Amino acid sequence: MDDSDMDPPIESECKSLDKDLPSSKFDEDFTSYVDLYSLEDVSLDKEDKTYFSKWYTSFSEKFSHYYKEKAKEKNENISPKRCRNLNYHINYLIFQIYQKELDYKNEEDQKLFKSSIESLKKNIKSLFAVSEKINCERDEKDYTSSMNIVKKLDDYCENRDHLRSVIKDKKEKCQDLIDYVNKKYDCFFNNDSCIIDIDAEEKKTFAISDDCTLYNIPKTFSYFECNNYELPYRIQSIPHCPSQYASIFDQIVAPLKYYIEDVPYLNEILNYPQYACLAVFGIVLIPPILCKFSPLRQLRYRKKRKSSRRKNIDSDVNDVLFSYAGYEPQLTENETYHIAYPNV
C-alpha cells in the first residue's frame, strides 16, 4: 500500500477535535487554575535553595482549593477519569522537575535537589486526601511515553461517551459521533502500526475498559447508538512489534535509531568511506556494551527525560505506535486478527 494514501493527520488537527469536549475543558481549567506547568519554564536560580519550597507553597494552596472546593461546587465526587487526569498531570510535572537536575553540576547541589524533589512528592501525595465527598488516591508512577498514549485513549473515550449521551436525546446528532470516531481512529492508527510496549503483553498497558482499549479496536471505535450506520473496516488490535521475527541486524539497529539521529555531521561522515566504516563498526559494538553495563530501557528513558519539554507533551502517537516494515496487518471487522510475517 502506498504510504501517501495513509498519511496520518497532524497532531494539531487531532488535538482540535477535542475542543469544547469534556476532556479538554477539564485539562485547560485545571492546569491554568493551579498554574501547573509554571515551573517548567523557569531557569532555577542556583543561589536560591528555597525555590521549590516557595513554588510548592503557591501550588499546594491552588491545588487544594481546586481539589476540594471545585468538586463541591460541581456537587459531584471526583470521578475515576478525573482522578486519572490529576495523577497524569502530577506524574508529568514530577518528570519535568527532574529535568532541572541537569542545572546542578556539583554533588552537594544535586543531593539537595533530589532531597527537595522527594519532599515535594510526599507533600503532593498528602494533598490527595480521601473523604466522603472526594475519593482520589495518589497514583505515583514514573512518566513514560506510554502514559501519553493511555491519556489520549482515555480522553477519546470520555469525549466519545459524552457524544453518545447527547444522541440518546437527539438521534440527529449521530453524525457528530460518527465524524469524531472516524477522525480519531485516523489519528491513532495506520495500516502498519505496531506497539512498542516494554511491559508484558498480559498487562494490557493500553486497556482502560472493555470498550476503551487498543486490544479491541472495532469495539472502541464503534458507533454504538448509531449502529444503523455502516462501520468502516477496523483493524482488530494493534499487535506488539514482532522483534522475534526480525533479523539479528534489525534487532541490533532498532534500539539505536533514537541515538543515530543525534549524531552530529552524520551526512558528512558518510561521505568518507573510512569514517563511515568506523561509524558502522562502533554501532555494532555499542549494543553489547550497553546491554552489559546498563539496561537499554533506562538509557532510552533517560534520553527522553533530557529532551522532553512541555511543548512536546502532545508528541505524536508514533512514539509508541510506529510502522514496522516486517509485516502487513490485515483489515478485519469481526474475525481474529492475523499478522503475516516474512520468512527470515
- DSSP 8-state code for residue 221: T
Give the model's pLDDT for residue 339: 32
Bigger pLDDT: 257 or 271?
271
From 299, 273, 274, select the one nearest 286 (Cα to Cα).
Answer: 299
Give the model's pLDDT for residue 111: 84
Bigger pLDDT: 212 or 33?
212
SS3 category, 331:
coil
pLDDT tens-place string over residues 84-114: 999 999 999 888 888 777 777 788 878 888 8
Please report the DSSP string for 54-104 in residue order.
HHHHHHHHHHHHIIIIIHHHTTS---HHHHHHHHHHHHHHHHHHHGGGGG-
Single pTM value for the model: 0.67
Counting residues of the chain whose pLDDT is more than 70, the rounded percentage is: 55
pLDDT tens-place string over residues 279-333: 656 655 665 555 555 444 444 444 444 444 444 444 444 445 544 444 344 343 4
C-alpha distance from residue 9 to each of 145, 190, 213, 317, 318 (Å): 19, 10, 21, 11, 12
Q: Tell me the C-alpha distance between 246 and 243, whole Å.
A: 5
- Res 12 pLDDT > 50: yes
Among 118-127, 190-199, 325-334, the least confident range: 325-334
Report angle CA 178, 179, 185 to the nearest 5 degrees: 90
Q: Tell me the C-alpha distance between 147 and 136, whole Å.
A: 18
Q: Tell me the C-alpha distance between 313 and 309, whole Å.
A: 7
pLDDT tens-place string over residues 218-243: 999 999 888 788 888 888 877 767 65
- Res 152 pLDDT > 90: yes
Bigger pLDDT: 324 or 147?
147
- Res 337 pLDDT > 50: no
Where are the domains positioned within the chain? 8-143, 146-243, 265-319
Q: Which grid coordinates are listed for 143?
A: 512518566
Give the model's confidence band at 194: pLDDT under 50 very low, under 70 low, under 90 confident, else very high.
confident
Is the CB of residue 13 less than 8 Å from the CB of residue 81?
A: no
How crowded is residue 169: how many other Cβ atoms within 10 Å of its Cβ?
Answer: 7
